[in-house]
Amino acid sequence: MLRLAVLASGRGSNLQAILRSISQGSLKARVVMALSNVPHAPALELAQAAGIPIWAEDHRTFKSRKEFDAAMLTAMAGKQVEAVALAGYMRLLSPEFLQAFKGRVLNIHPSLLPAFPGTDGAGDTLAYGAKFAGCTVHFVEEALDSGPVIIQAALAVQANEPLDGLMPRIHAMEHRIYPQALQWLASGRLRLQGRLVHLSAPELGEETPEPANPPAGCLISPPLEQGF
């Protein structure tokens, strides 16, 4: 059972997807705390409704990123947090925070990294005229949207597709690949070699999951497993 802290600044649909996978039993984790730099973020309401302890402070009231992140670490102390999932957390993390959870902080980003990092990955994909959009779950490093890639989902952009058409399609994929990546982490199947992420087979004696059918019009690598 992976003890997870979720950091979110917005709507919280990825937090919701994580909670859904946990309650369905496919993600063997527990969200032990939700933290935010936006005190009225809808994600926090979701967490509260699920009985998850929350912590939220406006980062602008802190002197520095280092101090804000130190306050988050203090808030998490005693919760035995094993991994941190960024779910629409719109801030960089300090080196000190990342050091505290080395190799155990994941992020979801709405583009096919390394293309279109930044705050508007999907919008930038469309504005550039790229023909494939998608989303990426990756380990977090200090530089924005730069860490080793765990899983990606690619979607063909439709002719003249507006952002409000593409975005829900990306979100639907996010809600499948993020819980999957977290389950791989929870089951110890992710190994980092430099910036390459290797996915190992389940341990001997553990069931080998069947592959899930990929959603129509979408390519996912590595493939999703049953339950995601």
List residues near ligand GRF by CB under 6 A. Answer: 8, 10-14, 43, 87-88, 108-110, 135, 174
Cβ proximity to ligand GRF, 69 vs 174, nearer residue: 174
Residue 8 Cβ vs ligand GRF, minimum distance, rounded to whole Å: 6
Return the residue nearest ligand GRF (CB atom): 88
Query: In the annotation, is 109 catalytic?
Result: yes
Angle, vertex CA 11, rays to CA 10 and CA 17, nearest 5: 120
Cβ proximity to ligand GRF, 70 vs 163, nearer residue: 163
Residues 6+ away with beta carbon under 8 Å from 62? 68, 71
DSSP H helix total and E strand total for the chain: 6, 10
Cβ proximity to ligand GRF, 128 vs 191, nearer residue: 128
Q: How many beta carbons lie within 10 A of that of residue 96, not counting itself? A: 12
Residue 207 Cβ vs ligand GRF, minimum distance, rounded to whole Å: 30
Cα dist from 162 to 44, 121, 123, 129, 215, whole Å: 29, 14, 9, 12, 21
CA distance 44 to 90: 14
Cβ proximity to ligand GRF, 70 vs 172, nearer residue: 172
Contact criterion met (CB below 8 Å) for 115 and 130: yes
Cis peptide before 110 (omega within 30 of 0): no
From the list 40, 59, 109, 171, the catalytic residue is 109
Residue 102 Cβ vs ligand GRF, minimum distance, rounded to whole Å: 21
Give CA 142 to chain center in angstroms.
16
Residue 107 Cβ vs ligand GRF, minimum distance, rounded to whole Å: 7
Residue 170 Cβ vs ligand GRF, minimum distance, rounded to whole Å: 7
129 burial class (0-12, 13-18, 19+ CB within 10 angstroms)?
exposed
| Residues 178-197: b if buried by 16+ CB within 10 A, e if exposed | bbbbbbbbbbeebeeeeeeb
Cβ proximity to ligand GRF, 88 vs 179, nearer residue: 88
Q: What residues are labeled active site?
A: 109
